Amino acid sequence: MDGTLKLKDRLYPMATPAGAYFAVASQEKTLARRLLSQILRLGHSVPLTEELLAEWCDGDGE
């Protein structure tokens, strides 16, 4: 394994129950919570792409 991660085409992200709880259990603004919130909101309806992932992460100061 070369250590490079790549997205597979046409996969739709879904949050686990634990991920859904983590996303809403705190008001703390983190990248993980923002990504999970976007997945909860749109994940079942759009395939994950690098462009979409970049859009969901845009503006993060972490």
Tens of pLDDT, residue by residue over 18-62, are 999 999 999 998 999 999 999 999 878 889 888 888 888 885 544
Please tell me the distance from the alpha carbon of residue 24 to that of residue 48, in angstroms, as a whole number.
21
pLDDT number for residue 22: 94
pLDDT number for residue 60: 53
Boundaries of every domain in the chain: 17-57
